[in-house]
Amino acid sequence: MRRVLISLGLLLITLQAAAQMEWHDPMAENEPPICGRAWNKEIGKEYLRMPRRMKPLLRKEVWSLAHHTAGLYLHFNTNTSHIWVRYVLTGSTNKAGNMSALGHSGVDLYAYDREGRMHWLPNQMYYNLTLKHQSDTVLFRYDDAKIPAAGAKGWDYVLYLPTYNGVQSLQVGVDEGTTFKWYVPSQDKPIVVYGTSITQGAASSRPGMIWTTILERETGLPVINLGFSGNALMEPEVFDAVAETDARAYIIDCIPNSFRFYEGQEIQTRYPAGIRKIRAKSDAPIIMAECIVGDDQLFVSKKDAKKRAANKILRQVYEQLKAEGVKGLYYISAEDFSMPRDAMVEGTHPNDIGMQIYARTYEKALAKLGLLSGKK
């Protein structure tokens, strides 16, 4: 009984504190300030990564994964001393598999001071992702964060949304009487990434540690995450969608899925067909990436051999496209990633160390292509 009374007391205090916050809903804006996605105006007031007109064109698995908010974030400014985030998810938090609930369904907050220096705000475990009902509200409280006073100018914040779950509704809470404004998405040409579960974020510890979000922070370039867990199968309909965005560069990282489902003939046909679709719309650089090969080949030699065979076929596709005169192709090999043994979770997906290696590898490629000039 004592524990119940304490829990009820804490709940009452939390509810009273929440009532004193001013809450801001991004979907109340005329144009939702959802960053990190293409088609922002068309998608409108839904937390989707692809527009609804594509639903009939895509396999149901891909369309379902397009509801996950991997790589999406909110950019805002406030001079508050406290920040709370409350939201309702579309799916369960109990399906994390090889990921923590925080990495799967949590949010992640970064701050930029007036000099542009980046800071990460630890949440100190003031959240609850063990929900009794799917419709329950998740609450993240950044109460232990001592936000230095910044006067009327405030601080800029980036709030990364869940990686392997969808969002029904979300609000950011700040102290009463403080300033608050949303930033609209960047109009700079983005890096568009079409990839697998590794691109979607498995198995980062938190949303800010997906390699695409690391790449976005480190380069200052907008990045569009079109990672579809287990379903990056080089389908023409997805390549059509990728090619719709006028990008600074395209990254195609599908082999970690495709080597499992397709024999060489499929890679030899679907992959170049997709590259030609992109090249018909854009002359932006296209980065083609092999499947990473971990340090486990001694114990999973059969799977390792399939990865290497798929990578060999991809190299042949790259050479074929170059021989045809396709310009602006850049190739990343498994050796370029150089993934050490402690960079993996279960032998398939990178942990935070591996995610940082992914981001650095792609950042080097973008630098070699001259795409980071003038960026941080």
pLDDT tens digit sequence for 263-280: 567 899 999 999 999 999
Only one residue has tokens 């043994």, namely 341
Residue 302 has which token pair? 């059969």
Neighbours of 317 (CB within 10 A): 20
Residue 7 has pLDDT above 80, yes or no: no
**Close Cβ partners of 294 (under 8 Å, ≥ 6 residues apart):** 339, 341, 343, 344, 347
d(CA 250, CA 191): 6
Whether the per-residue pLDDT at 17 is higher than 90: the answer is no
Q: For the residues 13-23, what does the mean pLDDT come to?
A: 71
Cα–Cα nearest to 75, from 193, 222, 181: 181
Mean pLDDT of the chain: 91
A 10 A CB-CB count for 189 gives: 16
Cα separation, 345 vs 96, in Å, equals: 13
User: For a pLDDT cut of 70, what percent of the chain falls above it?
Assistant: 91
Q: Is a pLDDT exceeding 80 seen at residue 11?
A: no
Tell me: pLDDT of 237 over 70. Answer: yes
Q: Can you spell out the DSSP letters for 142-182? A: --S------GGG-EEEEEEPPSSS-EEEEEEEEETT--EEE
Mean pLDDT over 318-339 rounds to 96
Mean pLDDT value across residues 102-111: 97
* The predicted structure's pLDDT at residue 261: 64
- For residue 305, what pLDDT is reported? 87
Mean pLDDT of 7-27: 68
